[in-house]
Amino acid sequence: MAAANRPQQLRVGRLTKAHGLKGAIKLELYTDDPERRFVPGAEFSLQVPESSPWHGKHLTLKELRWYNGHPVGFFEGVDDRTAAEALVKAILWVDQPADEAQEPDAWYDHQLVGLAVIRDGEKVGEVVHVDHLPAQDLLVVKTGRGEVMVPFVSAIVPAVDLEAGTVTVTPPPGLFEELPEEPAPADASGAEASGDRPDAD
């Protein structure tokens, strides 16, 4: 599952590892249509830390190749391994044409914020924010005991119903509530633990 950071953009990939010495970078794809998204000349906005030299800049694709089933990108201005390593973990975004259909299992942040979070048929909170991390997206859910970070993956968020205004969650134990403490194990020594041992003569 994926959430877009701005209404006019889609997140399509993440740069994961420098490949070789000529600036190539391995990609993790977040799109079902890489042949359309990753064509020569395609331009990507970058999501990187503010401290990165690439902050606020764009990347233009020269070529996408496949090595042992893994996609590898070559980009303009990235000509050596040092430049490629500076881009590792960057997330790639593309502008979405207004007349283009939304990709399946992809939602914009503004569509998710405000949705009721439903667990076992009961409302447990409301989505107040979406965090985009390199590994995955997180839904920030406001509950009665504070905010809960919910990994936005199908195993934990199996359904998003925009018409109903709900997000269905199947969280692991302890995500939305504190687990009860396990009782202390009984002392196998019985009476000896209570100090009632008879005096030995």
User: To 5 degrees, how large is the angle CA 55–CA 56–CA 57?
Assistant: 95
Contact by Cβ (8 Å): 50, 8: no
Digitized pLDDT (tens) for each residue of the chain, 201 residues in all: 655 444 467 778 889 999 999 999 999 887 777 888 899 999 999 988 888 899 989 999 999 999 988 899 999 999 999 999 999 999 898 877 655 555 555 677 778 889 999 999 999 999 998 887 766 788 999 998 889 999 988 889 988 888 899 999 998 888 887 655 555 555 555 444 444 444 544
Q: What is the rounded CA–CA span in Å between residue 4 and residue 45?
A: 12
Phi and psi (nearest 5°) for 2?
-145, 155
Question: Coil, helix or strand for 192?
Answer: helix
Question: Is 0.95 surpassed by the pTM of this model?
Answer: no
